Amino acid sequence: MAKTKPGKKDLDSYTIKGTNKVVKVGDCVLMRPSESEKPPYVAKVEKIEVDHRNNVRVKVRWYYRPEESIGGRRLFHGAKELFLSDHYDVQSAHTIEGKCIVHSFKNYTKLENVGAEDYFCRFEYKAATGAFTPDRVAVYCKCEMPYNPDDLMVQCDGCKDWFHPSCMGMSTEQAKMLEHFLCLDCDSEDDAKRSSNGYPDSTISESKVEPKRRKR
């Protein structure tokens, strides 16, 4: 009669080898890639278990970088952007190199400083089909692109929309020096109002600009 192998046991936590960092279920981790020149993989820990030989394994849900997705990286993708995929896997816990934080998009835009271990996620991703959830996001500026938190944008005092300085014919340095800003449409409306009130069209508008990073 064949002997049954001892079962696996769930663990509450795992200490990363060579460190004092403790990983728990629900944490996000950096995992060693198979090719040393690649950046570490990012995953969310779903389960930690140990077998009868004290081999610790983790069930993970992978995050994908934009360049790893079917559509590839696009202009509005942030440098620290990840997609939460439906791709699950079981890996040796020894491949965990460190911990990281995957923020919601909203929380990421509020960070004063972005550290090496800070990432953000605004889409879920189906690895087999390349489909995203949500499949639509708000767009800004006359270029009608989704917000990239790595790019400076300025807000129009008139319509309250956000614009890329380059799309407004300005450099980033010029935008940072401005105190006021009206987009072309609102500036034209303002000129028309001044003309109808007897003011010359050449009057300089005193619109306000707030070149705040990571704000929509």
Query: Could you identify the residue written with the tokens 């079962």?
Result: 7
What integer pLDDT is reported at residue 191 of this predicted model?
59
Residues 28-50 pLDDT 10s: 999 999 888 889 999 999 999 99
Domains of the chain: which residue ranges? Answer: 7-136, 138-216
Write down the CATH number for the domain with range 138-216: 3.30.40.10
**What's the rounded Cα separation, in Å, for the pair 83 and 89?**
16
Q: Do domains 7-136 and 138-216 have the same CATH topology?
A: no
Give the CA dihedral 146, 148, 149, 154, nearest 10 degrees. Answer: -70
pTM, rounded to two decimals: 0.77
Quote the CATH superfamily of domain 7-136. Answer: Bromo adjacent homology (BAH) domain (2.30.30.490)
Spans in the chain with pLDDT lower than 50: 1-4, 198-216
What integer pLDDT is reported at residue 194 of this predicted model?
54
Spacing of C-alpha 125 from chain mean position: 13
Count Cα neighbours of 83 within 13 Å in the Cβ-side half-sphere: 25
